[in-house]
Every structure is written in C-alpha cells, then in structure tokens.
Amino acid sequence: MEYQRTITCEHNFSGIGLHTGESASVKIKPTSVNSGIVFIRKDIPSSPQIPALVDNVINTCRGTSLCIDGIEIKTVEHILSCLRGLCIDNALIEVYGSEIPIMDGSSCCFVDSICSKGFQEQSCERSFVTPKEPLYLSDNDSSIVLLPCDVFKITYVIDYNHPVLKTQMEEILIEPRTYMNYICMARTYGFIEEVQYLLDNNLALGGRLDNALVIMKDGYSSPLRYNNEPVKHKILDLIGDISLLGAFLRGHIIAIKSSHKLNVEFVKLIKDRYLNSIYTFLENFYSGV
C-alpha cells in the first residue's frame, strides 16, 4: 500500500521563460490529499487555477502548455517531471508570469530544493492506473508502446542524422532514487541549425548557453552531465507529460523518437481507456444524477 504525499514547506524559484524570454517566478506549496497538482496564475487578479491534467493541454510545440479560459501557462513539463519523479501527489504551484522559468534547462533546481526539506506522507492511498493489455500509438516514424508492468519503467530511443548526435537509448525504472541520480540533471537541448528557425517563430527567446545544451556541428556547447544526456532529457520530458494523466502509472513505456505532441496524445489514449468511466461516475455523483 502506498500513500499520497506532498512537500513540507514552500519552495521559491525565479528566472526567465525558455520560449517567452520573460521573467517569471513560481512558488511550490504543500496541499491536502486528493488535490493533485494545480497551477495558479497569481499575476492575474482573479488568480485562475489550472489543474495539471491532459484535458487542459493547449499547445505541444517545443514544450507542453496548459490553458483554461484563455489563461495559459507554458513549458510545464520540467516542474511536473520533478514532482512525478519524486512521487509527489499533491502540490500548488503559484506562477507569476506566463511560463515556468527554465532554470538551468533541467529539473535539478526543483529537485534539489524539495529534497533538502523533505516530504510529508498523507493519510490517503495513492491512485494508480495499471493497464492489463498493451497500448500503442504512432505518428510517422515516432511511436509509444505501453506494456503491462507492476512498476513504472521507461525505455526511450532517439535517432538523428547528425554527426555528433545519432542514436541513443536508455531504459530506467522511474522512482525517486533513480530520478534524482540519473535523470533530473539532463538539460533541454537543440541543434545549432535550428536556432534561427526557432527565433523566427518566437520560440527559444530565452534560450542561453547556461540553460540549454546546444549541439554544434563538431561537439556540444558544454560538457555533458551524463554520457547520454539528450535521451535522458527526453525521458525527463516524458515523465512530465505522463503526469498529466492525473494518476500514477504502473507500466513499461517504450518510446521511439516521441514528441510532446505524441506524449500528450498517448496520455489521452490511456485516460480514455482506463479513467473516463471513473470521471463520468464522479461527475454524475457530484451533480446529483
């Protein structure tokens, strides 16, 4: 039996948004059982709340963005990855700005702060989704498979036609120890050839050499933190996207050249298969049907 948990105290972070280039700050706060992960836009007078659920995804271009009633929060995947990687069920994330600050391009700043203060086990059992049959989704040469498994495990393959970065693969059990030691320091990355395209499309306006790993024609912009850092960052992103299911997943995900778009579509597939009947029951119950 596993119980839900939250954090013990407030954690504060500030920086710039990767894509907007604008200053932003966040406060991660503890909250009660069954609250889930909820973002709050504190820079807006009404302080609208945006639950971290797949139905609230509005954009998956170079990141995952959530939106309710026209109020958006961009690039949520790293902070969500941290919370899921550390097995945190319930937290409030107060956001001052339209994008989560990119920090150093990984999730380690969030992880280090939270781990330094610890966690609070709560009185309610954790919810799990445990598929009993395989699920599969593809988009051109990208694909994701979910296989039955009694733990949460990810196998990820990237493959590029590039002189520096070609094929990398990683398989890893996702739990707090492995997340802290082998995943959380992996930085977001991009190719030098993409930079002008991104800027022309108002993307990566806050990209810097201290918050991203740039892949040049003859090497990397800075020393690697892991020998296969790019594929590990893809796993980091995938964990954040999978957390939008709203329940912990037990299963083995095999992802080949996946993207935020495919990740989110796959979460919707899992939700439709395993959670919609539960959501419908709860909606009917609370509406008195």
Domain CATH for 149: 3.30.1700.10
User: Using one digit for the tens of pLDDT, what is the confidence trace for 213-238?
Assistant: 999 999 999 999 999 999 999 999 99
User: What confidence tens digit (pLDDT) does each residue in 196-219 have?
Assistant: 889 889 889 999 999 999 999 999
Q: Which residues of 36-65 are buried (b: 16+ CB within 10 A; e: fewer)?
A: bbbbbbbeeeeebebebbbebbebbebbbb
Q: State the residue range of the domain holding 121.
A: 3-125
Q: 99 and 136 share a domain? A: no
Which one-letter amino acid corresponds to residue 63?
Answer: G
Within a domain: 281? no
Percent pLDDT > 70 in the chain is: 95
What is the per-residue pLDDT for 280? 45
Same domain, 132 and 110: no
Which residue out of 19, 78, 233, 260 is catalytically annotated? 260
Statement: residue 286 has pLDDT above 50: no
Weakest mean pLDDT among 87-101, 163-177, 201-215: 201-215
Asked which of 92, 125, 158 is the last residue of a domain, the reply is 125
**Do the beta carbons of residue 60 and residue 260 sit within 8 Å?**
yes
Query: Computed over its alpha carbons, how large is the radius of gyration of the chain?
Result: 18
260 as an active site residue: the answer is: yes
Answer yes or no: do 162 and 119 share one domain.
no
pLDDT digits (tens, 9 = 90+) for 52-74: 999 999 999 999 999 999 999 99
The domain that contains 86 carries what CATH number? 3.30.230.20
Do 62 and 94 belong together in one domain?
yes
pLDDT at 289: 40
